[in-house]
Every structure is written in structure tokens, then in C-alpha cells.
Structure 1
């Protein structure tokens, strides 16, 4: 694929991975984290990525998001080919087209909710209108918490700030890595409701790595990984019990 090229026919696909390979270690200790993974994520869809520990879930997310460079293959985000981008170009692409939500909220404790939302853009030298910041926090249910610091917010409220921060640049895709892993069941459901709303009402593309079958059941589609390869690709609706059973089969197969 040509460097910086816009890929024809990508009107319905936000993220495309083609024969992506990633390795860890060197020599005899080299392991394949991803072994020829090809998968695409369509616009306005919610995909859960599941698999046993060590299956390559987080590696897939990090490579797809341009956080890690794969050993081979090709990745396209929003029509932009990542393969030969410089580090500066990758940084700009992540800043402008990708949102991130992690299990750790990654908020700066000394800053208010609105300051945390604005921080990445300000570090990049861009000013976000105050109305946009307030609008992003209102959209995640925090209209009355703009000036509260993380210590004054619950875990669920902190994660909502992280979601607002991910959305402030209106990204093409939001990558979420275990976004409910540190939350109780009620708060987790609220965060999943929010992600579901982003997809259904705003046509946001969400790709979520999770180990939780209940969380995965909220997605439109579940992609299963095992030993660095696609082991299943199922479109919903799915029940948590079905997802758990499929994951258990993959665990047994990898033992």
C-alpha cells in the first residue's frame, strides 16, 4: 500500500488489519503475539475482542491504534495507511483520529474534570472551546461535575471523564482496553450503556478488549483470539453464557 495513501473503498470500514504479525523476544525465545491477523472494524459498530490470557488481545489493540509497530502486515485507520508513518505522524494521527479508554483512568489528580478532558489537546498546542469541553462532559452525564478533581469523583465518574477526553477530538475510532475492569457491576453497566449509546446514536466506532462475557454481550460483534490468531468472529446478539462457553473452549484448546 502506498505511504500516506487513502485506501479506495474504505467508506464503511474505520480500521483494517491485513496479515498483521507481531513478535516478542529474540532468537530462540521469540514468540508470536499476532500471527497473520486480518480483520476489519466497520463504522458505527461496537466490537468486543476476547480470548485467553496471552492470546494477543492487547497486542492487537495496541497495533491497531498505532501504539506499537507490528513486525509485518498492513494497518489502515480512517483511510490512512499506518505502515510507513513516522513517529510524529503517528502521534498526530492518534491525537486527531483515535480515542483511548483504559482500565486505569489516567487522569491527572491536580486537574479538574474539564482540565483533564482538555489536556491532550492543549499539550498538542490546540485550544478546545470551553463550550465543547462542557458539552463532552454533559454528554457523559457529568454536567454538574466539571470543576471536580478526580479525588472528588467516583470510579465510574472518573471513567466517564476518560470517555469524554477520548471523544473531544471527535475521533474515527475509540479503542477501549478493559474499560470496566476496575469498576463494580452497576458502574460497569453504566459505562457500557454509554459506549452503546455512542455507537447507536452517534455512529461512533468502538473496539473493546475485555475478558468479561457480560461486557462483550453488549457489542454487535465478538472477535475471538487464540495463540495470536483469529479463532472466531461472531455477530450478535449473543448471550453472556454463549460467549463464556466459547472463551472456555479456547482456554481448553490452548492448554
Structure 2
């Protein structure tokens, strides 16, 4: 997963707002990256452009070696269905479907026939095999997010994008979600890019990328404690005022 000189502007001429300003970033396979920064720094825009949910103004985005910038909407949709997974703050489960049906949805949309054993394996990984027949309303918030993680993993995507995955959860449920994401990286070699404002969540990552004013301004790699991340975040927020 790679961004090359990616720029994203909204509006035109003198009213244009630059959300991303020539961002270069590479997310190596089998790594967990947290993206942080003050409000308005470009975190969400980076995620949306990286995932092909929004078109870039300039530069290039590559997913699994494929340049997606000039793909047609149909080709981009096919690539997202097979090579990209999503975990959202609001879970985005289909209320009328069971947990198992929500998990297999990406496979069905991609025209693939799901194997029952595969679905069971994904739900077992997130500790919800016994809840396969339950609908979202019958599950807690933490359980719904675990279903969303199983859904993201089912296609074995090149990259999973997580947008504030613990933002709507209590501390215990959030910790379980982060443990599952970490396990997906360590056990399955999954690549994860997570937008978060929480230093404790970011401390689960291998790397923390800091944005400010649409640019990458810092890049911490290796085991990084939440206190060090919090200090960096506070400095950026102070500079943004």
C-alpha cells in the first residue's frame, strides 16, 4: 500500500482547500500503522483517498501494487471488494442480516461462494461463533465491532482501513478490538491502517504517522508507548492553535 505525492483539494481557485499536500507514505505488508493528528489535519481524507473512497487531485495511490488513481468506478469497486477491508466507528452492519450473513457480505458482493467453514473460522477468531445467528440489535457494541472485523478479514484483503474503530466503545470492548487487530497482523500478516485520536489505541501499532495541515510531520516506528504518543499529539495540537 503506497501513496506517492498525493494531493487532495476541495473547491476551486481561490476558495480551494488543500486537505492533503503531496503526501508520500508506504505501508509495508504485515504491518499496523496508526494515523494521528489534530482535527482538520487530513487523517480522514488520507484514509478515504487511500481506500479509493475519494478521488485524489494529484499523485498516485497503489493498493497491492495496482495504481488505483485512474481506475474506472466499476474497476475500483471490484478492487475494493476483493483487496480492501473496512472497520468503521459506527460498525456499518446490515440490521436485517445475522452476524454470519454480515460477515459473508463482501464475498457475495464479489461474486464468490462462501464456505461455511470459512465463515465459522472468522467468527471463531473474534470469539463469536456461538452468535452467528444473532442480528446486530441482539449484540453489544463491542460484539458488533468484532463482527465488523470478521467481515473485514473474510476476503483476506491486501489492506484493512480502520476509522476510529474504538471510538464508540467502552475501554474493555475497545481493548478487545485492538487485540484482535493486533492478532490479525501478527498471526495472519494482515496490513492495517488505523485512523485514531487515542494514544492508547495507537500504541498497539508498529508505527505512528502524524499529520498536520495535510502533511506528514512525524513518523514514529517500533514499540512506542502511549505517553510518548500523547506528547507528540499535544505538541501538534498546540501548534495548530
TM norm structure 2: 0.98
- Could you tell me whether the CA contact under 8 Å between 2:10 and 2:19 is conserved in 1? yes
Q: 233-242 vs 223-232, which deviates more?
A: 233-242
Match of 1:74 in 2: 60
Match of 1:191 in 2: 177
Distance in 1 separating the partners of 2:94 and 2:52: 23
Match of 2:51 in 1: 65
Question: In structure 1, which of residues 222, 241, 247 is the aligned counterpart of residue 208 of structure 2?
Answer: 222
Task: For residue 85 of structure 1, give the secondary structure of its aligned residue in structure 2.
Answer: coil
Question: In structure 2, which of residues 24, 49, 70 is the aligned counterpart of residue 84 of structure 1?
Answer: 70
Match of 1:145 in 2: 131
- The Cα offsets for residues 138-168 of structure 1, whole Å up to 9 and x where unpaired, read as 1111111100111111111100100111111
Structure 1 position 226, deviation (Å)? 0.1
Aligned length: 241
- The Cα offsets for residues 76-119 of structure 1, whole Å up to 9 and x where unpaired, read as 11111112111111001100000000001111111110011112
Task: For residue 179 of structure 1, give the secondary structure of its aligned residue in structure 2.
Answer: coil
- Could you tell me whether the CA contact under 8 Å between 2:34 and 2:207 is conserved in 1? yes
Match of 1:182 in 2: 168
For structure 2, the residue ranges without an aligned partner over 5 or more in a row are none
Structure 1 position 24, deviation (Å)? 1.4
Task: Report runs of 4+ in structure 1 exceeding 3 Å deviation.
Answer: none
Match of 1:127 in 2: 113
**What root-mean-square deviation, in Å, do the aligned CA atoms of Structure 1 and Structure 2 show?**
0.9
Match of 1:50 in 2: 36
Distance in 2 separating the partners of 1:190 and 1:93: 29
Task: For residue 19 of structure 1, give the secondary structure of its aligned residue in structure 2.
Answer: strand
Q: 123-132 vs 214-223, which deviates more?
A: 123-132
- Whether 1:171 aligns to 2:121 is no
For structure 1, the residue ranges without an aligned partner over 5 or more in a row are 1-14
Structure 1 position 70, deviation (Å)? 0.4
Structure 1 position 28, deviation (Å)? 2.2
Match of 2:2 in 1: 16
Task: For residue 180 of structure 1, give the secondary structure of its aligned residue in structure 2.
Answer: coil
- Could you tell me whether the CA contact under 8 Å between 2:31 and 2:190 is conserved in 1? yes
TM norm structure 1: 0.92
Distance in 2 separating the partners of 1:163 and 1:46: 14
Match of 2:21 in 1: 35
- Whether 1:248 aligns to 2:207 is no
